[in-house]
Structure 1
Amino acid sequence: MPTTKKEHIYYGLMMCCGMVVGMMSYNLIRNGLIGTISWQGLLLQFVLCFITAFLVESFVVGPLAKKIAFSLPFDKSKQILVILSMSVCMVTGMVLVMSVYGLATSYFMNPPAGQSLLGSYFTTVGKNFIFALPLQLLIVGPIARYLFKRFIKSEKMTISPT
């Protein structure tokens, strides 16, 4: 896991990139928008979503998730438990916040008729959480940790609660 500010930035960039690509793809498929958005529009959406996700992760959800995960009563010396608790806390926070972002952009682009905003939000949160947690635990998290260990962190990784 990252220990310096620079390492935190690199790790956050890798995680955000993987999760934004995965979640954007999922939501485009789920909403039947594949093939209806131009490549330029798709690239613009990716850049805006990536910047938003990285800022939210870095300054809001990340610090809060770390505080919550390390305050939970479990053995912090077991790396798998630390990874699982951090992942669950991060995914929960990011889904709650980024679902607002996704809902706002979809309402801006094409306001749905007859749906309540609150109902749409909770539906979106549920569907995004169901996809985001396995995506994080099984695909993006392991790939990002591998790439981080391989290219950024040369020495043995250690876990610190700071």
Structure 2
Amino acid sequence: MALVAAFASDVDLLILDEPTSGLDPLMEEVFQRCVTEERERGRTVLLSSHLLSEVEELCDRVSIIRKGATVESGSLAELRHLTRTSVSAELAGPPGGLAALPGVHDLDVRGHRVRLQVDNDKLDAVLRSLSESGVRSLTSTPPTLEELFLRHYQDEVTAR
């Protein structure tokens, strides 16, 4: 009922705190459509949620807050630029020199298959190196919002 009242109001800024808590999947979809419509009408929607996939789907800008302070803020593209991309590839020949490239992490080579994490500013060099081995298939996946979030909370997760 509170969501209906919020969307029916005539305000420029909607502040929604955990708005989908208790909603079934069908109503979550309706909620997402409502937020999109409000944004298209020029209203600002401030959404606080622990459902990071929902935030990733709905929000233009994201802030990660830790201990009451903002630790990252920006568009998802801006935040992703600050971290690593996952790369998986199947090559025609053996991969050469990947381990020596700066920015390469968690390299796993099994025959002609390669998995790794790469700092985004070093992705170009990794792709060039892979192409020299003949790429048969390639998947490059930017970090999810959950991965960005966990980067700031990793010490709390490992301490438990």
TM-score (norm 1): 0.21
TM-score (norm 2): 0.22
